[in-house]
């Protein structure tokens, strides 16, 4: 039978493992032309928003339609499916996580 102390330790280890796998899901497993990250900036004048990618820890800025930007907020975690044209990333689908 597990003691209370051992049970707490086991639970802590399991939570730590679960939290470590979230960033791994970020982009590699999300699929091609997809980034996952936290919104760090929304620029209505430029119709764009910037996320801090969970996997690479690099910022990515996406062009977006005003209706897409209306649904976003700072520090929100999102999955962005995008297309690239002339070196610019355009958000095709933005899914809150």
- pLDDT value for 3: 77
Q: How many other C-beta atoms lie within 10 A of the C-beta of residue 68?
A: 17
Whole-prediction pTM: 0.71
* Beta strand extents in the chain (DSSP E only): 34-43, 48-53, 59-63, 77-85, 88-96
Reported as a single tens digit per residue, the pLDDT across 32-70 is 899 999 999 999 999 999 999 998 899 999 999 999 999
Cα distances (angstroms) measured from residue 56 to each of 12, 48, 52, 59, 86: 26, 20, 8, 9, 22
């Amino acid at each position: 039978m597990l003691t209370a102390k051992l049970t707490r330790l086991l639970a802590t280890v399991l939570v730590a493992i679960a939290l470590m796998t979230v960033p791994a899901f970020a982009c590699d497993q999300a699929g091609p032309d997809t980034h996952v990250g936290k919104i760090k900036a929304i620029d209505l004048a430029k119709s764009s928003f910037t996320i801090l990618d969970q996997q690479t820890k690099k910022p990515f800025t996406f062009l977006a339609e005003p209706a897409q930007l209306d649904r976003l907020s700072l520090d929100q975690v999102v999955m962005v499916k995008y297309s690239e044209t002339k070196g610019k990333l355009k958000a095709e689908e933005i899914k809150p996580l």
